[in-house]
A and B are shown apart, each in its own frame.
Chain A
Amino acid sequence: MMSTTMGHEPNGTPGWPKTAKEWLFTLDHKVIGVWYLIASLAAFAVAGMAATLMRIELGSVGPDITSDGNIYNLWLTMHGAVMILGFQIPALLGFVANYAVPIMIGAKDMAFPRVNALSIWMLWSGILTALANLIIPDHFNGMWTGYPPYSLTDLAGNTALYTTVVVTIGMSSVLGAVNLASTVAFMRCKGMGWFQMPITVWAVFTANIMQLIFVPVLAASVLLLSLDKYLGFGFFNPEVGGDVLLYQNLFWFYSHPAVYVILLPFMGIIFEIFSTSAKNMVFSYKTTVYAFLAFIPASGDVWVHHAFIAGLPDWLRVLQSFTTLLISLPFGLLMLSLVATMYKGSIQYTGPMLWAMGGWMMLVFGGLTGIPNALSSVDYGISDSYVIMSHFHYVMAVSGSMAIFAGVFWWFPKLTGRRCKESWTKLSAIGFFVGMNVVMGPLYIAGIAGMPRRYMDYQQFADNTTIVNMQYISTIGLYITFASVLLMLFTWIHGMLKGEKSTQNPWGSQSLEWTSTALIAGQGNFPSPVSVAKDWHPYNYIDNPKPAFSSS
């Protein structure tokens, strides 16, 4: 009967479990959240190393550290696949969703603790399988997108591994999404209405609804790849009546919404930190929530903008060019709401606030550089170039990473009971922001000058001084970023071991995880069930009624 009670029945004792057995067989959402965090940070380290190697290779024309296209493409594939599937999605829909959301809504655990444990261990097996790609001889190098017919050739390596990783992580995501959506819908504490939930909860909830709608399409499409390659089905093989474009349509039907699956939760974190740091209500809270929800229908009809030059009919290109532009409405509202939340605020510039501001600033650049890409005719000149690559690093990769790290620094006191050194936190945030801008800004210019994506070398552009110089500057930015990441890791380790002991509510939040549980919440989070009044709100800093506890 051990596993039925392990970790999630309230027992009133704060603190983390003490034994390895309890950590491994846990059903406690917080411990599972930490497992998600460890997995995603490990994935970030591996994918970050891949990025480092590529950037060094691209620093100058000609081979720098490798001349083997297969090796370079392995780095490229690992960087994309692991950053998205291993780092960002698990950090946001794993760590934030599991660790923070249940406490934020006053629940004792997730709705299905056992399913939750299944999700995390499926994710780990998916990530470990993905890492195996680094050591197997016929490693998969078909990029994170896995386009056929290339992924169906022997050159692409082990396509079955790609299918396995995507399907495993996808199943883990779907289970996690069902769990999270049920938790938010049915396990909010007594008195907490839908419009009294923290924005982070709304963001994660919206993202998970999108996962439920779109992930199955992705899983099916990558499964078809393996059926094609190993069993000769021919879905994507023109010689037997298949169509290579079918895959791209299916793949992007999921993978564009996937951008918002990442974007919305990390914007949720930015909202949380902005609002709390400014001690100000999220500006026009309700419309902000509706703007989040608007992404669900809006994201389902834009996938063709990933295939503007892929031979699809012209009417479809111009149609989805327009639907893509419409994304600017909810996105613009969210961005305006973020800034308006500062209005008449009382802003404290803490370490996590600086990280969140970095993420916000990257998001401004990323959002704006999305506009030219949405115009189909403009896209003909920049498709598959560094313009696109730089844009999505701004809008999702770097901004997302900065917001995720902001979240880690934000909940760090709750995870460890200690504080990170503020000055180091701020320095690493500034370093990361400056470094990534030096990496990605010049590459945008190189992209305008014609530099294509996914190139291990660019000897055809050796006379193009813009491209050559921008590549060089970009590599300098890498070193700045790399040093800041090391500083960040050091700050975490130092904070965990030697950091100053944290107070109960260091950021002055009104959200339940800070006001109504122990700093390191124990099993069941709330020793006795918590309830909030009708006029309680997580962002009301002026006259918020205190949450109450009933004697279970």
Chain B
Amino acid sequence: MRNKSLLLKAWGLLVALPLLPSLVFAFQSTTARRASYGGLTPQAHWEELWTEVMWDITIIGGVYILVALVFFFAFKAKSKDGVGASPKLSLQAVIGWVMIPSMLFLGDDLFLYVKAYELHTQMREVPANAQEIKVTASMWNWNYDYGDGVDADNELRVPVGKPVVLRMISEDVIHSHYLDKYHVSEDVMPGRITWEWFMPDKIGKTVITCREYCGPNHSKMFGKLIVLSQKDYDAWMAEELAAVMDKNTSSQQVASITTGAPLSIKAVQ
């Protein structure tokens, strides 16, 4: 009796072993890495994790398929009416059969989960200095509103090196704002404001495209993310502001003639 319970305890220790690396990593991760995310941008962090997950599943799959192939070759029938001779399992063997793989899977799950949780924290915590841009989606158009009357359709211009948070809402059906190369997408819907943030780290153009089915022109609902140097961005913004001012001045003047209302403060700025 005593021996049996000892044996079961030994099993318990053995099966808990694969969990250890995950727990160690989880501990490390929550202390050391979390503050800076290893100095990675969210997109580089994402790519690092993606590569790691791909290796992870390739190794698991590779080992599994290899064993399977060995079995498939080794146990090919030698005669037409041969029968198999699978071993009868003892209780301990059954417990081991269930617990060892389960704990291995659980260990791997935990390992990946902790890493993904860390990335999740980075992708869902907006840096304090982020520039906010309002996105309004409609069939089949993206509108980007920078405030001060500056807005643009299907072209999102941002300065390099400064985080951007998009606050998004839809006028009609559900869309999803996907930033290619930044590995970030969030649904845009009526009745709820959703958001995503990204760190533009390279000057150049990338694709923005809709990722939630939104009707016959779903695949044509795309635009461009244009990352500019701070200087170019400032120049563009100045130009846009000037254009807005022109437009406001002229339209407000017309309005004031017909209604006699005073010019708004904004237009005077």
Query: Could you tell me if A245 and B120 are in contact, using CB atoms closer than 8 angstroms?
Result: no
Q: Which of A309, A344, A461 contacts B187 (CB 8 A)?
A: A309
Query: Could you tell me if A332 and B83 are in contact, using CB atoms closer than 8 angstroms?
Result: no
Query: Could you tell me if B213 and A69 are in contact, using CB atoms closer than 8 angstroms?
Result: no
Interface residue ranges of A342-380 to B (CB < 8 Å): 342-349, 357, 361, 364-365, 368-369, 371-372, 375-378, 380
What sequence of 0s and 1s flags, for each residue 321-355 of chain A, a beta carbon within 8 Å of any chain B beta carbon? 11001101100110110010111111111000000
State the main secondary structure of chain B at its contact with A.
mixed
Residue tally, chain A, CB below 8 Å to B: 86
Among listed A145-153, A210-218, A425-433, interface-contacting one? A145-153
- The answer to whether the Cβ of A73 comes within 8 Å of any Cβ in the partner chain is yes
What sequence of 0s and 1s flags, for each residue 138-157 of chain A, a beta carbon within 8 Å of any chain B beta carbon? 00010100010110010110
Determine the chain A residues whose CB is within 8 A of the CB of B268 once the complex forms. Answer: none
Query: Could you tell me if B216 and A345 are in contact, using CB atoms closer than 8 angstroms?
Result: no
Query: Could you tell me if B187 and A310 are in contact, using CB atoms closer than 8 angstroms?
Result: yes
Determine the chain A residues whose CB is within 8 A of the CB of B207 once the complex forms. Answer: 450, 460-461
Q: Nearest chain-B residue to A147 (Cβ)?
A: B174
Q: Nearest chain-B residue to A150 (Cβ)?
A: B173
Determine the chain B residues whose CB is within 8 A of the CB of A365 once the complex forms. Answer: 61
- The answer to whether the Cβ of B57 comes within 8 Å of any Cβ in the partner chain is yes
- The answer to whether the Cβ of B192 comes within 8 Å of any Cβ in the partner chain is yes
Query: Could you tell me if B214 and A326 are in contact, using CB atoms closer than 8 angstroms?
Result: no
Determine the chain B residues whose CB is within 8 A of the CB of A317 once the complex forms. Answer: 120
Interface residue ranges of B163-218 to A (CB < 8 Å): 172-174, 176, 178, 180-181, 183-187, 189-192, 194, 196, 207, 209-218
Q: Which of A242, A287, A326, A542 contacts B97 (CB 8 A)?
A: A287
Bound CA–CA A346/B86 (angstroms): 10
Determine the chain A residues whose CB is within 8 A of the CB of B89 once the complex forms. Answer: 284
Determine the chain B residues whose CB is within 8 A of the CB of A345 once the complex forms. Answer: 71, 75, 84, 86
Bound CA–CA A217/B1 (angstroms): 50
Determine the chain B residues whose CB is within 8 A of the CB of A346 once the complex forms. Answer: 75, 77-79, 82-84
Query: Could you tell me if A372 and B53 are in contact, using CB atoms closer than 8 angstroms?
Result: yes
What sequence of 0s and 1s flags, for each residue 68-80 of chain B, a beta carbon within 8 Å of any chain A beta carbon? 1001100111111
- The smallest C-beta distance from A304 to any residue of chain B, in angstroms, reads 13
Query: Could you tell me if B84 and A153 are in contact, using CB atoms closer than 8 angstroms?
Result: no
Bound CA–CA A280/B76 (angstroms): 12
Bound CA–CA A329/B99 (angstroms): 10
Among listed A34-42, A254-262, A381-389, interface-contacting one? A381-389
Q: Which of B60, B84, B191, B192 contacts A279 (CB 8 A)?
A: B84
- The smallest C-beta distance from B86 to any residue of chain A, in angstroms, reads 5
Q: Nearest chain-A residue to B216 (Cβ)?
A: A69
**Contact A149:B174 (CB < 8 A) given known A280-B86, A344-B85, A542-B83:** yes
Among listed A83-91, A406-414, A451-459, A525-533, interface-contacting one? A451-459
Q: Nearest chain-A residue to B65 (Cβ)?
A: A364
Q: List 5 A-B contacts (CB under 8 A).
A: A346-B82, A383-B211, A384-B185, A452-B209, A542-B83
Interface residues, chain B, with chain A CB atoms under 8 Å away: 46, 49-50, 53-54, 56-57, 60-61, 64-65, 67-68, 71-72, 75-87, 89, 94, 97-98, 101-102, 105-106, 108-109, 112-113, 116-117, 119-120, 122-124, 139, 172-174, 176, 178, 180-181, 183-187, 189-192, 194, 196, 207, 209-220, 222
Pairs of residues from A and B, 8 with the lowest C-beta to C-beta distance, nearest first: A238-B191, A69-B216, A381-B183, A280-B84, A346-B82, A375-B116, A455-B219, A377-B120
